Amino acid sequence: MTLTHAEFTRRFAQHILPHRFVRIRHYGMLSATWKRGKLQTLQTQLKIKPPQLKVKTLLKKCPCCKTGTLVTIDVFGKRGPPKKYLPVRQAGLLEKQMVPVV
């Protein structure tokens, strides 16, 4: 397909929004609330099977040997270790030893 410069510019200009307008990407059928409620209803009316989600197992294998099983003992928050594991300050120096804070 070959376009003239004027036709290309005209078609391209149709996609430019006027001043102070904002494009909404997730509106209508693409919105999360529509997908949550009406998508299941639409799938049942059209007799479409919803995709089966894979069940994730909590037991993970060792990344090195691929045979051992890893068990989660404690999960740290995203902003650092728990306060009970913070280092103890003595005489203005930061000790490397981790001592639980009571």
- pLDDT value for 7: 92
**Amino acid letter at 87?**
P
Residue 9 covered by a domain = no
102 pLDDT more than 70: no
What confidence tens digit (pLDDT) does each residue in 38-88 have?
878 888 888 888 777 776 666 678 777 878 777 777 776 677 666 776 666
Burial 71-91 (b: 16+ CB within 10 A, else e): eeeeeeeeeeeeeeeeeeeee
Residue 31 covered by a domain = yes
Mean pLDDT estimate for the chain: 75
**Pairwise pLDDT comparison (96 vs 5), residue with the higher score:** 5
Q: Look up the domain containing 55 and give its range.
A: 23-98
Among 78, 58, 77, 60, smallest CA distance to 69 is for: 60
20 pLDDT more than 80: yes
Kindly state the helix (H) or strand (E) to which residue 35 belongs, with its residue range.
helix 32-45
Residue 82 covered by a domain = yes
Residue 71 covered by a domain = yes
Count of domains for the chain: 1
